[in-house]
Structure 1
Amino acid sequence: MTRLSPVRPPLLAAGPRLPRPRGNRRELSWWQLATERVNAVAVLLAVVDVVAVVVAAGVVTPSPRWGLLTAGLLLGIRACGGLYRKRLWLSWLHDVPRSAGTTAVTLGLVTVLALGTGREDGGPVAAQWMVLLFAVLSEPARLCVLAIGRWGRRRFGRGDRSIVVGGGKVGAELVRTMQAHPEFGLKPIGIVDDDPAIDRELLPVGLIEGDLPEVITRLRVGTVVIAFSHAQDPPIVDVAIAAHQQGCTTLVVPRMFELYQDGRDVERLRTFPLMRLGTAPTVRPSWWLKRLVDIVLATAALVALAPVIACCAVLVLLESGRPAFFRQTRVGLGGRTFVLFKLRTVRPGGEDDSQTRWSVAGDSRVGPVGGFLRRTSLDELPQLWNILRGDMSIVGPRPERPGFVREFSAIHDLYWARHRVPAGLTGFAQAQGLRGDTSIADRARYDNYYIANWSLWLDLKIVLLTVGELLRRRKN
C-alpha cells in the first residue's frame, strides 16, 4: 500500500514549491465549488433571523436610527456567537443556550445605550421590545430549519464525502455511526491507514490507498476525520496540516474523548466529540484586510523612512563601498523562493558565503556601521519593498535561506509547516527575543502557534512586542 504522507515542500535549490491551499478544487465547476463551500442550513438560519428582525421592526416600529442599530447588533452578535456556523449536530435544544445568550447580550447593550441617551419616542424602549419580539419569532423558525435539515440529510443523503484517518476501533465505530445516522451530514467513503489495528474484513468500509493529498483530490473529499492509528509515520499533526492545505474540513477525535466536554469548537457525532480545526488563515476574509494594512503601512513607512534608509545607505558606502544594498534568496509562502532586500552590513570581499554561513556574529568583516545597523535592525528596512511586492507581510515567520530550510526541515518537527503563510518582517518568535543564534526548534513552535492562532489582534500584539524588544536591545 502506498504510504500516507502530508504535503511537504520539496525544498529544492531551484525553487521549492508547495501546492496552494484548495488548488485541487480548481478543476471543479463553479456550481460544485459553491455547493461545497455554502452550507444550506447555515444560510437558512441566517435568513430566518433576518426575516425575524424585519418583522419585529415592522411591528414595533422603532426610529430608523434605533431600528438599524438594533438589527446590526442582533445579527452581528449572533454571527460572532457561531449561530450561523456549519455544524454536524442539528439540535435546537443544543443551540438554545447559545442563542438565548447572544440575544440577552444584545438586549443588555441596547439597555445600556438607552440609559446613556435617555427616553425618546420610538427609540430605546421600542428597540428593547424589538429584541424581545425577535426572540419570540426567531426561535420557532430555527427549530423548523434544523428539523428540516435533519430530514433532508436523511431523505436525500446530503452530506460531505468523508474519510477517516485511522483504522482502529474508534475509526471503525465512527464510520458505522456516520452510516447509521446520516442526519449528521457525513458520508463515509473509506478509511485511510497503512496499518489498521483491527481485521480489514471487520471494517465497515474499505481501506483507501494513496497519499492523502492525492486521495482528497481523486475522491473529492470534503471532510477528513482523524481518529487513532497505530501508524507513526507521518505524525497525526502532519496529516492534519495536509488536510488543511487541501481545503478540507478537519475534525479530530481527542484523546480521552469519553471525558471531553462540549465547547465552541467541538462538534458532536452522537457520543463522539470531534474537535473542528479552524480554517487556514489565508482563506479567511480578514486575511484580505491584513494584506490591505500591509500595503498601507509599508507605503507610509517607505515614504516616511526614505531619508533614514538613504542616510544608512550613504554610511554603508562610506564604510565599505558599493553596493549599499544586499540581495539574498529566501523561502516564503508555499516554499517558493523570493529575493529579499537588506542594507549591506558585511564588507564585500572573498567568497560569498551568505547562503551557507548561519551567523556573522564576531565576523571581522562587520564594521561599526554594519554592527549598528544590525543591532538596531535598520538593515531590515528595505524589506518594506518586499512587503509591497507581496513577497512578505509585516508579521509572519521570518524567511530563511533555502539551504538552512532543507537542513532544519530534516531535523526539527514541523519546521516545513512555517511556510503555510507569507514570511514576515517580524514574527512571534522574534517578538519573544528569538533572534540570531537561538533555538530553531523554539522558533518553529512559535511560528506554528502564530499560524494556528492567527488574528489581526495577534498581529498587533506582535508588533507592539517587537517594538519593546527593540527598545530593550538598544538599551543593552
Structure 2
Amino acid sequence: MNRVGATATAPAPPGRARPQTRRDLLNRVNAVAVLLVVVDVAALGVATAALDRVWVGVVAGVLLGVRASCRLYRRRLWLSWLHELPRSVIATATAFALVTGVTLALGTPPETTVEVQWAIVNFTLWSEPARLFVFTFGRWARRRFHRCDRTVVVGAGKVGATLAGAMLQHPEFGLRPVGFVDPAPALDPAVLPAPLLPENLADAITRLRAGTVVLAFSHAADSPLVNAAITAHRLGCAIFVVPRMYELYQDGPDVERLRSYPLVRLSTAPTSRPSWWVKRAVDVVLAAVALVALAPVIALCALAVLLESGRPVIFRQVRVGMDDRTFVLYKLRSVRMTDEDDSQIRWSVVGDRRVGPVGRFLRRTSLDELPQLWNILKGDMSIVGPRPERPGFVREFSAVHDLYWARHRVPTGLTGLAQVHGLRGDTSIVDRSRYDNYYIANWSLWLDVRILLLTVGELLCRRNR
C-alpha cells in the first residue's frame, strides 16, 4: 500500500459544490432548448390532430423520445439550423421507421399506417421551419440582450485570449468572459480582453458567479487543467476544453464551435443530473428492503460478536463523505476491543491478531458492512460509490496522491468500482483513486448496475473480476 508519514499535510480541497440559489437555477434554464421542445410539441399537436388518441400517444412518445435521445434539445453554443438539420432528419427518420414497425407488428389496417406516416411527415414540415425561427431568434436575443453565461477562461495565452475576444465580438455564441485564471500567463495582462484574476479558480467562480469555464492552454510548469475541470464540476459549471491539435479536430456529438475553435463539452457532474435522483430513490428502496430482509442475519452476526468479544457489537467510526463532510459510519465490530482506540490512525491489515474467528468470517463475507445500510437510508452514503475513508488517511493520501481529493465529488458507497476489481484492504491507494475517479467521470445508472452484479459475483464466487 502507498503510504506517507503522519506529518504530511494535505492541500485544501479546490472547491465544494455551492448551494443553488433561485437565480442560479433560472440562469441554468436554456431558453433556446425550451423553445425547441415547445415548437416540437406544437408541431406534433397540429400534425396528429386527425389521429386516434392512442396513435397520438404512440407517435408523440416515439418521436419526442428519439429526438431527445439524439440530443436535439441540448444546450448549445452554435445556433445553426443547417448544422443541426442532418441530426434532426435522422432522428425523425428513425422515429418514422419505428412507428411504421409498430403498426406492422400490430396488424394495423394499411390506411391507419399511412395516416400515422403522414402525421410524421407533416410534423417535419411544421417543425423544421419553426426550429429555423428559434435558432434565428436565439442568436438575435443573445446579441440584443446579452443573455450570455459569465465565463472564466483558464489559460491566459494566445488561444485563451483569442477565444475571449471571439466571445466579446460574437455574443450570439452565449458566452461572456469575465476573467482569466493562469498561474503563469503567456501574455501581458494589459493586452488580455478580460482581467487576469488574482484568486484561484474556485474563488473566482464563486465571486463572479460564473456558470461556464473554458480550459485553454496554460504555460504553467505544472498545468492545473485537470484540477480546474474537477473544481468547475464541483461548483456546478459547464466546462469546455480546447483539445490539443484543435486544428485537426473533427465535429462530434460533444464538440461545440466558437468560430473556428472546437470546444469539447465535458459531461455535467453526476449529482446535477436528473438520473441521480433515480439513483437516490433506488438507494432508499433497496436499503430499506435489505435492512428488513437481512435483519435476522444482522442479529445472528451481532450475537456471534457479543459471544466472542463482548460489547459493543456495533463499531462506530468517523469517515469522510461527499464534499469532505464527515459522518459516523456503522459496522459490526470485527476487531477485539483494546485499552486504546487506534482505529483512526492504524491501518487494519490481513493477519491482525486482534481479529478473531468471528471477525475473520465477517470480513471475508463482508457481513460486517451490513449496518451501513442505515448510513445509506440516512443519506450519508450510497449503495455504489467510492469507499469512505478516515479523516486522517484522507489528509495523508491527499497530500501525496494526485486527485485523491477528487473522489469526494459524489457520496461514498457500500461497494465501488475499485472494490470489484480487487482493490480492498491493504492495496494500492493510487489504483483505488484512479478507479474511483473513472467511476465519477463515467457514471451512469447502468454502471451502478454492473458494479452491483460484479459485487454479487465476487461474494458468491470469492474471486475478483
TM-score normalized by structure 1?
0.92
Matched with 2:342 is 353
| Conserved 8 A contact 1:433-1:469 | no
**Counterpart Cα distance in 2 of 1:449 and 1:281:** 12
- What stretches of structure 1 of length at least 5 have no aligned partner? 1-9
Matched with 1:461 is 450
- Do structure 1's residue 22 and structure 2's residue 18 form an aligned pair? yes
| Conserved 8 A contact 2:254-2:265 | yes
Deviation (angstroms), 1:18 = 8.6
Matched with 1:149 is 138
- Do structure 1's residue 45 and structure 2's residue 41 form an aligned pair? no
CA deviations on 1:118-153 (whole Å, 9 max, x unpaired) are 123874332222111111111111111101111222
- Describe the shift of the 1:475–1:400 C-alpha distance in structure 2 as closer, same or farther (beyond 3 A): closer
**Counterpart Cα distance in 2 of 1:108 and 1:404:** 56
SS at structure 1 position matched to 2:319:
strand
Q: Which amino acid aligns with 2:79?
A: L
- Do structure 1's residue 304 and structure 2's residue 293 form an aligned pair? yes
Matched with 1:33 is 24
| Conserved 8 A contact 1:63-1:122 | no
| Conserved 8 A contact 2:317-2:328 | yes
**Counterpart Cα distance in 1 of 2:158 and 2:368:** 57
Deviation (angstroms), 1:165 = 1.0
**Counterpart Cα distance in 2 of 1:404 and 1:191:** 34
- Do structure 1's residue 178 and structure 2's residue 176 form an aligned pair? no
Deviation (angstroms), 1:162 = 1.4
Deviation (angstroms), 1:306 = 0.6
Q: Which amino acid aligns with 1:110?
A: V
Equivalent of 1:418 in 398, 407, 421: 407
**Counterpart Cα distance in 1 of 2:231 and 2:15:** 10
Matched with 1:433 is 422
- Describe the shift of the 1:356–1:52 C-alpha distance in structure 2 as closer, same or farther (beyond 3 A): same
Deviation (angstroms), 1:114 = 1.2
Q: Which amino acid aligns with 1:48?
A: V
- Describe the shift of the 1:259–1:17 C-alpha distance in structure 2 as closer, same or farther (beyond 3 A): closer
CA deviations on 1:161-218 (whole Å, 9 max, x unpaired) are 2121101111111112112222111112222223211233332232122122221222
**Counterpart Cα distance in 2 of 1:302 and 1:241:** 35
**Counterpart Cα distance in 1 of 2:406 and 2:231:** 10
| Conserved 8 A contact 1:395-1:463 | yes
Tell me the matched-pair count: 457
CA deviations on 1:287-325 (whole Å, 9 max, x unpaired) are 111111111100110111111111111111122222221
Equivalent of 2:439 in 450, 453, 461: 450
SS at structure 2 position matched to 1:179:
helix
Question: Superposition RMSD on alpha carbons, in Å?
Answer: 2.0
**Counterpart Cα distance in 1 of 2:229 and 2:443:** 17
- Describe the shift of the 1:317–1:18 C-alpha distance in structure 2 as closer, same or farther (beyond 3 A): farther
- Do structure 1's residue 130 and structure 2's residue 119 form an aligned pair? yes
Deviation (angstroms), 1:84 = 0.9
Matched with 1:335 is 324
- What stretches of structure 2 of length at least 5 have no aligned partner? 1-8
**Counterpart Cα distance in 1 of 2:464 and 2:440:** 31
Point out 4+ residue stretches in structure 1 off by more than 6 angstroms.
16-19
Matched with 2:150 is 161
Matched with 2:3 is none
Matched with 1:393 is 382
Q: Which amino acid aligns with 2:37?
A: A
SS at structure 2 position matched to 1:354:
coil
Deviation (angstroms), 1:270 = 1.1
SS at structure 1 position matched to 2:383:
strand
- Name whichever of 453-462 and 172-181 sits farther off: 172-181
Residue pairs, 1:242-257, within 5 angstroms: 242-257=231-246
TM-score normalized by structure 2?
0.94
Deviation (angstroms), 1:54 = 0.3
**Counterpart Cα distance in 1 of 2:14 and 2:225:** 19
**Counterpart Cα distance in 2 of 1:474 and 1:190:** 52
**Counterpart Cα distance in 1 of 2:46 and 2:115:** 13
**Counterpart Cα distance in 2 of 1:69 and 1:336:** 47
**Counterpart Cα distance in 2 of 1:360 and 1:195:** 44
Equivalent of 1:366 in 347, 350, 355: 355
| Conserved 8 A contact 1:17-1:336 | no
CA deviations on 1:243-291 (whole Å, 9 max, x unpaired) are 1222221111111111111111111101111111111111211111111
